[in-house]
């Protein structure tokens, strides 16, 4: 195991033991959540066999934190997530970290985090695993890809952070380095299928973010991004195949008395080298963006309306070039997605929540290659309906 992974696992054990022994202590907090969803689509597989209605969408999380001193906090979460063919529900270490305050005062705070940390990418990446903190059942898939979720979700490493509290608002900055979590979904998405060997880290990733929050967080503005250097573990050619990625998000949000408007743009420049003859060398920039409005009808009810667009290659938005280069193996409809979503949230109580969501899809860019290995069976126009029940304590 990697040294930082060992540290993270050790922290998780310490947190869990402390929470059990001292859950009534004011310095220890223990929380959890569980959700179950059902997904039905008119065509294509999304979170399981959705054309026949899939119940393969389950989330169970248990988290704890322990404030050892004003300068030191331990926190961690274990997550079981079943998501069709993308995740089988095996318990995983979602995050486990030590948060060390290096300096603090009335106008600032700075610190260091060590372990497995959620990446501060966009408005929702840090909290995407908790149903109650998402704006909808599914996050905007053209920005927060569930099909490569683990690649950008967290990092095993170290993070420096600083907050400056000013009369005009709060400025926050982070700088982190470490190794991302890689699974079979990453290889299927980046390489469009299964190739010999496994994709792995070539060097540490680097992540940075800068945020502005106005007083009372009426306005949020941010830019965040991460670099990733990967390689393929194979011996088919003298050269080692490599993939270099830069994933970045520009974010904006306005919170009114009864409504919230959010918009984000994602850019993903990528560079693939030395995969021939299995794959050709290429440079490609994917992009995605959305606008989202949530309106609070009354204290327990909230409406969500969102439109999003995403493209595998912003220079080939209609997919004609990738269809030509692959001799039709990758159809043009697989390279773009345009999605209109409408959702309703009902907070039955503080512990219980119900959601319903409808989506109209044009294109297949957001679909998982593991769940839909035969691109020729893609249906370009399709509908999705989902419901979800969630509980927390």
Summarised one tens digit per residue, pLDDT across range 264-288 is 999 999 999 988 877 788 899 999 9
* Model pTM score: 0.90
Summarised one tens digit per residue, pLDDT across range 17-67 is 555 544 445 688 999 999 999 999 999 999 999 999 999 999 999 999 999
Q: What domains can you pick out in the chain, each with its CATH number?
A: 99-350+359-386 (2.40.160)
> Which pair of structure tokens corresponds to residue 160?
């420096």
Q: What angle do CA 29, 32, 35 make, to 5 degrees?
A: 165
DSSP state of 331: -
Q: Which helix (H) or strand (E) holds 14?
A: helix 3-21
Between the alpha carbon of residue 308 and those of residues 124, 144, 226, 337, the distances in Å are 16, 11, 22, 8
Measured CA to CA, the distance from residue 215 to residue 34 in angstroms comes to: 33
Q: State the pLDDT at residue 13.
A: 54
């Amino acid at each position: 195991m990697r040294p930082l992974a060992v540290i993270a696992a050790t922290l998780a054990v310490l947190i869990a033991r402390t929470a059990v022994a001292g859950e009534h202590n004011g310095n220890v907090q223990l929380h959890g959540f569980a959700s179950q969803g059902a997904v039905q689509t008119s065509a294509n597989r999304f979170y399981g066999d959705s054309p026949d209605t899939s119940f393969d969408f389950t989330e169970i999380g248990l988290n704890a934190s322990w404030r050892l001193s004003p300068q030191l906090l331990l926190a961690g979460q274990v997550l079981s997530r079943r998501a069709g063919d993308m995740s089988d529900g095996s318990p995983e270490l979602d995050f486990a970290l030590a948060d060390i305050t290096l300096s603090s005062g009335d106008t600032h705070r700075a610190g260091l985090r060590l372990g497995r940390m959620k990446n501060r990418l966009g408005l929702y990446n840090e909290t995407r695993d908790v149903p109650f903190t998402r704006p909808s059942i599914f996050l905007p898939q053209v920005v927060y890809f569930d099909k490569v979720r683990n690649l950008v979700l967290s990092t095993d490493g170290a993070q420096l952070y600083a907050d400056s509290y000013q009369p005009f608002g709060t400025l926050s900055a982070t700088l982190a380095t470490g190794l991302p979590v890689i699974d079979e979904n990453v290889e299927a998405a980046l390489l469009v299928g299964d190739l010999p060997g496994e994709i792995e880290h070539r060097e540490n990733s680097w992540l940075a973010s800068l945020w502005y929050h106005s007083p009372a967080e009426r306005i949020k503005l941010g830019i965040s991004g991460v670099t990733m250097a990967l390689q393929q573990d194979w011996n088919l050619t003298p050269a080692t195949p490599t993939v270099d990625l830069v994933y970045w998000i520009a974010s904006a949000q306005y919170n009114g008395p009864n409504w919230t408007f959010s918009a984000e743009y994602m850019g993903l420049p990528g560079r693939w080298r030395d995969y021939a003859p299995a794959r050709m060398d290429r440079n490609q920039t994917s992009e995605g963006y959305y606008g989202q409005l949530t309106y609070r009808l009354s204290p327990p009810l909230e409406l969500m309306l969102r439109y999003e667009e995403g493209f595998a290659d912003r220079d080939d938005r209609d997919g004609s070039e990738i269809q030509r280069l692959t001799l039709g193996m990758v159809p043009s409809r697989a390279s773009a997605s345009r999605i209109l979503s409408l959702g309703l949230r009902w907070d039955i109580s503080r512990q219980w929540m119900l959601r319903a969501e409808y989506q109209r899809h044009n294109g297949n860019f957001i679909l998982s290659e593991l769940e839909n290995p035969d691109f020729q069976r893609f249906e370009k126009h399709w509908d999705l309906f989902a419901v979800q029940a969630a509980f927390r304590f």
